[in-house]
């Protein structure tokens, strides 16, 4: 049923509904704006989501008791609400969110999505973000859509027939842009170190941001690279144009980029639009360790907030303050480690707070979340070098990590290794 307004489309919601919201750059913010307007008429609505764009209006304290956000990943629009107890964070591997829905463990009453207009066969596309939304659409009792002519039409698990949508509203608006960051000397150095670990024929998983972009910028002399990832951004485009990324060495989806969402510039969105070279698949599949490991030479490149001297990687919180989420880091760290010739890389600047704090620390901050365990960690990279930790003892790990810490902290870290861990470094 076509509706004139978002509020009209959302009027089929009921008190206590559990609602999934498509996330990332495909966030249906036009519907969320309407939801914020009508939520005071309802009791105890729950909005489940990953990171959402342009959704700050849902953090209005006036919505308490009417609408509460439940986040599997935390971003700028929900971070303060999570940290002050006005929203909830659910730590869970990204690959397991669809299982949560399909098993019925997490009931879903409705799904809010943003789609491209229907094609001549009546099929809309979820566009640049499939993630857990495919599973949500299979389980939700009500589907409410924003049909946006500017949403790219993507291939893979992204299609939904207009007849499967209960209500929809049409409105044209550009996709949120995430433009490449300016690379500073620290980021460039990290990118060079990470690139030194990449070989011809490798299959890459990388995220968004300066470190992945810096790494990709250093791969101009490589050959036959592939991409199987949970997301990608603009950094892959020059390598595709130059024939460096070919995806021909992959065993799964040879010749194609595999992802579950994308976020970047308009050039990126234009590239994925109606492009069969890129397949957007269910995150239960893209992040399945059993799928990832089937490709040879998988290299997983992820980041962290803090690493302790035993190799524990904190990636979702600053102490007890939730900053982001578990996401797919462990899915790909494990998948890459099990891949024939695979490697898992955690890359991060050596310091924070303008050089006042070492990100490599003797102990993690109290409450810090261990996303990658010391048993799973492989390579840690900072601007000062590479520490290979897999198969190494605690003493060997501490020495290797101190060597890639910022020089002004190395003496203190060596003393703390002795005092905290009883290690002779």
The residues annotated with a catalytic role in the active site are 230
Q: CB neighbours of 358 closer than 8 A, spacing ≥ 6?
A: 350, 351, 405, 406, 409, 412, 413
Closest CA to 49 of 76, 78, 12: 78
126 close to 113: Cβ distance less than 8 angstroms: yes
End-to-end CA distance of the chain: give it in Å, rounded. Answer: 69
Length of the chain: 425
Q: CB neighbours of 339 closer than 8 A, spacing ≥ 6?
A: 203, 292, 293, 294, 295, 296, 297, 298
Q: What gap in Å lies between CA 386 and CA 384, rounded to an integer?
A: 7
Closest CA to 422 of 388, 393, 400: 393
Pairing mode, strands 159-161 and 123-125: antiparallel
Q: CB neighbours of 53 closer than 8 A, spacing ≥ 6?
A: 24, 25, 27, 29, 75, 77, 176
Pairing mode, strands 313-314 and 370-372: antiparallel
Burial of 353 (0-12, 13-18, 19+ CB in 10 A): exposed
Instruction: Check residue 164 and give left, alpha or beta (phi > 0: left; psi -120 to 50: alpha).
Output: alpha
If you search the block for the tokens 């996303």, which residue do you land on?
A: 371
Q: What gap in Å lies between CA 228 and CA 287, rounded to an integer?
A: 9
């Amino acid at each position: 049923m076509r509706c004139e307004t978002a509020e009209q489309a959302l009027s089929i919601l009921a008190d206590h509904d559990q609602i999934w919201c498509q996330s990332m750059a495909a966030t249906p913010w036009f519907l969320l704006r309407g939801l914020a307007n009508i939520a005071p008429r309802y009791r105890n609505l729950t909005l489940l989501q990953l990171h959402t764009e342009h959704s700050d209006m849902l953090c209005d304290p006036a919505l308490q008791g009417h609408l509460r956000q439940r986040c599997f990943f935390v971003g700028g629009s929900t971070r303060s609400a999570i940290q002050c107890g006005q929203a909830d964070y659910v730590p869970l591997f990204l690959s397991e969110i669809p299982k949560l829905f399909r098993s019925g463990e997490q009931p879903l009453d409705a799904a809010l999505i943003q789609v491209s207009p229907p094609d001549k066969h009546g099929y809309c596309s979820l566009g640049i973000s499939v993630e857990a939304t495919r599973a949500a659409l299979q389980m939700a009792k009500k589907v409410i859509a924003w049909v946006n002519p500017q949403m790219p039409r993507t291939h893979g698990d992204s299609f939904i027939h207009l007849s499967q949508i209960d209500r929809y509203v049409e409105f044209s608006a550009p996709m949120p842009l995430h433009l490449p960051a300016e690379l500073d000397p620290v980021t460039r150095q990290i990118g060079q170190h990470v690139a030194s670990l990449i070989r011809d024929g490798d299959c890459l998983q990388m995220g968004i941001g300066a470190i992945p972009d810096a790494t990709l910028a250093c791969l101009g002399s490589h050959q036959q690279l592939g991409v199987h990832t949970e997301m990608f951004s603009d950094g892959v485009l020059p390598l595709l144009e130059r024939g460096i990324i070919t995806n021909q060495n992959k065993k799964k989806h040879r010749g194609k980029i595999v992802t579950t969402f994308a976020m970047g510039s308009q050039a990126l969105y234009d590239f994925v639009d109606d492009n069969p070279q890129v397949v957007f698949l269910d995150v239960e599949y893209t992040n399945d360790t059993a799928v990832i490991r089937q490709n040879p030479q998988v290299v997983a490149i992820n980041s962290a907030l803090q690493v302790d001297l035993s190799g524990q990687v904190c990636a979702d919180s600053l102490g007890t303050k939730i900053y982001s989420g578990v996401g797919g880091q462990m899915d790909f760290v494990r998948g890459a480690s099990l891949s024939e010739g695979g490697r898992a890389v955690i890359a991060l600047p050596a310091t924070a707070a303008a050089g006042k704090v070492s990100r490599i620390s003797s102990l993690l901050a109290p409450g810090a979340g261990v996303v990658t365990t010391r048993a799973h960690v492989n390579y840690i990279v900072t601007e000062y070098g590479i520490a290979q930790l897999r198969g190494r003892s605690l003493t060997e790990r501490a020495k290797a990590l101190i060597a890639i810490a910022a020089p002004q902290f190395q003496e203190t870290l060596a003393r703390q290794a002795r005092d905290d861990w009883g290690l002779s470094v």
